[in-house]
A = this chain, B = another copy of it.
């Protein structure tokens, strides 16, 4: 059912499905973490064109949610989209290639960091318009329902997208027409450089309920909690019971984008430190896995394996060629 390949099991004894899931999620979160640390490195070494918005700190949300999806299910993603794409099954080498504008990238270099799309993993595309994929996600759910193919769609968006009216327009239609779509709001507390409490009146869950959607919040740093909440909403949607709204409370550990380094004016170092120390989603899951008897060495070896994968992927991307200049006016029309 999961889009994530089961890793070589580092735990010898026969595992419970729950433990297997925990390990699978851990490895996928690690992929996102190490991929993005590499992205940051590419930026600081001036090897990457433009900017990128890192998902580090929020990995449990994407991974917990996608754990509840099949490969055929759809997602839409955001400017902060690497995590969603990887969680849904994207390959790291083609991700890196896209971020570097190479022909081998998911979008032949035409999309870049903010527009990774991949039909093979049901990824309808990251979107650089805040709230810009709400319509697309709802439309995919509409088609899934009409075609009766049993797919659901998850629309990931930051709490900043709560400012975009189109979100409410499509939630209303999703509720009216009982579409299999889950609106997954990642509240990382900031719209760029502004605290969300300065931009968001009332109560987020009440908003969703006002449009007829069941809504609940979940600890976005706890992959297992996210999975449980997502699973319920996804099952519901798949059974024809209609859309749902999930609010995942989370935090981005880095700046709004890789260039956002001096952040004191909008959030304190202490706040950042506290989240990193106490609420790191990798640490949260690691603690649970350790409790289940996974020995410390296994985490190290997983990390080493994933790091190797990341290193190979980035090497591939750096060596890969740019698209030929005459590709520029291809793909404008189908």
Residues of A at under 8 Å CB distance from B? 162-169, 171-173, 175-176, 198-213
The residue that A163 contacts in the complex, of B172, B198, B202, with Cβ under 8 A, is B172
Closest Cβ of chain B to A42, distance in Å, is 37
Which residues of chain B are near A205, meaning CB under 8 Å? Answer: 210
* Bound-complex Cα distance A167 to B211 (A): 14
> What's the Cα separation between A167 and B210 when bound, in Å?
14
Provided the pairs A165-B169, A168-B168 are in contact, do residues A202 and B198 lie with their beta carbons within 8 angstroms? no
Partner of A165, one of B167, B203, B206, B212: B167
In the complex formed, the residue of B with least CB distance to A162 is: B172
27 contacts between A and B (CB under 8 A): A163-B172, A164-B165, A164-B169, A165-B165, A165-B167, A165-B168, A165-B169, A168-B207, A171-B201, A172-B202, A173-B201, A175-B202, A176-B198, A176-B199, A176-B200, A201-B211, A201-B212, A202-B209, A202-B210, A203-B209, A203-B212, A205-B210, A207-B207, A207-B210, A207-B211, A209-B210, A210-B210
Instruction: Across the interface, name the chain B residue whose C-beta is closest to A170.
Output: B165
Best-surrounded residue of A173, A198, A200, A201 (most CB of chain B within 10 A): A201
In angstroms, Cα B138 to Cα A201, docked, is: 15
- How many identical chains are in the complex? 2
Complexed CA–CA distance, A163 and B173 (Å) = 9
Per the bound structure, the CA–CA distance linking A208 and B199 in Å amounts to 16
Q: Which residues of B contact A210 (CB under 8 A)?
A: 202-210
Find chain B residues with CB under 8 A from A213 CB.
Answer: 202
Select from chain B the residue with minimum beta-carbon distance to A209: B206
A176 CA to B162 CA, complexed, in Å: 14
Complex: how many Å from CA A206 to CA B207? 7
Bound form: Cα–Cα A207–B172 in Å: 11
Contacts of A209 in B (CB 8 A): 202-203, 206, 210
- List the B side residues contacting A168 at CB < 8 Å: 165, 168, 207
Which residues of chain B have C-beta atoms less than 8 A from A175's C-beta? 201-202
Closest residue to A204 on the B side, CB-wise? B210
Contacts of A199 in B (CB 8 A): 172, 176
Inter-chain contact A165/B166, CB cutoff 8 Å: yes
In the complex, the chain B residue whose C-beta lies closest to that of A197 is: B176
Q: Cα distance A205–B211 when bound, in Å?
A: 10
Nearest residue in B to A165 (C-beta to C-beta)? B165
Complex interface: chain B residues within 8 A of A201 (CB) = 171-173, 175-176, 211-212
Most chain B CB inside 10 Å of its own CB: which residue of A164, A171, A199, A202: A202
Q: Which B residues are CB-close (under 8 A) to A173?
A: 201
Which of chain B's residues have a CB closer than 8 A to the CB of A169?
163-165
Q: Write the chain B residue with the least CB distance to A169.
A: B165
Q: Other than A173-B201, A202-B209, A203-B212, give 4 A-B pairs with Cβ distance below 8 A.
A: A165-B169, A175-B201, A201-B212, A207-B210
Give complex CA distance A207, B208 in Å. 8
User: Are B206 and A202 within 8 A (Cβ)?
Assistant: no
